[in-house]
């Protein structure tokens, strides 16, 4: 299901008649909001329209989202049937989502499962992690493992078990592991591009129509830190 890129800088990772997955860049907005900025939905629709010479409106269902400062795999549905079935897979936690995070502090354990109760403050667009249940809080679970260290930073692989607002950022910050560039959650300074070093590396799921396993992997953006990670893992 691999696909070649269009003339734009959109990186399509896989596609067929039912789904399409792309590698989101730092700063891309997945779906339109009050900012009025162009969205990844618009870009992917245009790609489909031009590649397949589609007339009229192009259907594209948003299955999940990534925070604007993050990068990595974003999966869309090309039919309403695929959207319904993918939503069900996500709801039943039958989609495996792996992330890479570059953090300044080494975690207290080389591998662990974190369970918190996240409460979202919409005015601040921020979630707060609590160790015990709180009113309005939602249980958040993830597992991490230390992968490697590079100079003053460390690469963690995150296996995300739930999908809460800013979950990885909030939970890692709660154990003192601040994602590089993430001012909102306690990192002392921003990255030059305004992004953070959190990357949706891999998504694995059952195809919504063919019922075959699908694994989509996205390379992180080109920058000195991600390039160093790739060099050590090569």
pLDDT in tens, 115-137: 999 999 999 999 999 999 999 99
Q: pLDDT digit string (tens) for 202-222?
A: 999 999 999 999 999 999 999
State residue 11 phi and psi, 5-degree precision.
-105, 105
* DSSP string over 122-169: TTTTEEEEESS--TT-EEEEEEEEEEEEETTEEEEEEEE-S--TTHHH
Task: Give me the residues of the chain with pLDDT under 50, please.
Answer: 1-7
pLDDT for residue 2: 41
Per-residue confidence (pLDDT) for residue 4, from 0 to 100: 42
Specify the pLDDT at position 151.
Answer: 84
Please answer whether residues 10 and 22 qualify as being in contact, where contact means their C-beta atoms are separated by less than 8 angstroms.
yes
State residue 228's pLDDT score.
93
Alpha carbon of 122 to those of 119, 128, 165: distances in Å? 10, 11, 10
pTM for the structure as a whole: 0.93
Whole-angstrom CA distances from 21 to 4, 16, 81, 181, 203 are 12, 10, 17, 26, 10
* 3-class secondary-structure state, position 39: strand
- All domains of the chain, ordered by start, with CATH? 12-233 (3.30.2350.10)
- Sort strands 71-77 and 61-62 into parallel, antiparallel or unpaired: antiparallel
Q: Which two tokens stand for residue 193?
A: 């591009």
End-to-end CA distance of the chain: 25
Q: What confidence score (pLDDT) does residue 135 get?
A: 96
Residue 154 CA from chain centroid, whole number = 19
What is d(CA 183, CA 169) in angstroms, rounded to the nearest whole number?
10
CA angle, 122 then 24 then 129, to 5°? 35
């Amino acid at each position: 299901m691999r696909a070649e890129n269009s003339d734009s800088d959109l990186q399509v990772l896989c596609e067929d008649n039912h789904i399409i997955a792309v590698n989101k860049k730092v700063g891309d907005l997945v779906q339109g909001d009050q900012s009025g900025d162009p969205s990844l939905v618009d870009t992917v629709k245009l790609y489909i329209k031009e590649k397949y010479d589609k007339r009229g409106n192009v259907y594209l269902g948003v299955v999940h989202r990534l925070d604007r400062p993050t990068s990595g795999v974003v999966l869309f549905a090309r039919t309403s049937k695929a959207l319904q079935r993918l939503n069900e897979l996500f709801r039943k936690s039958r989609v495996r989502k792996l992330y890479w995070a570059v953090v300044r502090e080494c975690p207290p354990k080389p591998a662990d499962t974190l369970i918190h109760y996240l409460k979202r403050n919409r005015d601040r667009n921020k979630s707060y992690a609590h160790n015990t249940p709180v009113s309005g809080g939602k249980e958040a679970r993830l597992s991490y493992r230390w992968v490697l260290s590079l100079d003053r930073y460390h690469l963690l692989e995150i296996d995300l078990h739930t999908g809460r607002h800013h979950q990885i950022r909030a939970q890692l910050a709660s154990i003192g592991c601040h994602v590089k560039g993430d001012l909102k959650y306690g990192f002392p300074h921003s990255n030059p591009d305004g992004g953070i070093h959190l990357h949706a590396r891999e998504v694995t799921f059952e195809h919504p129509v063919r019922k075959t396993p699908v694994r989509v992997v996205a390379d992180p953006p080109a920058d000195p830190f991600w390039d160093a990670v790739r060099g050590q893992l090569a």
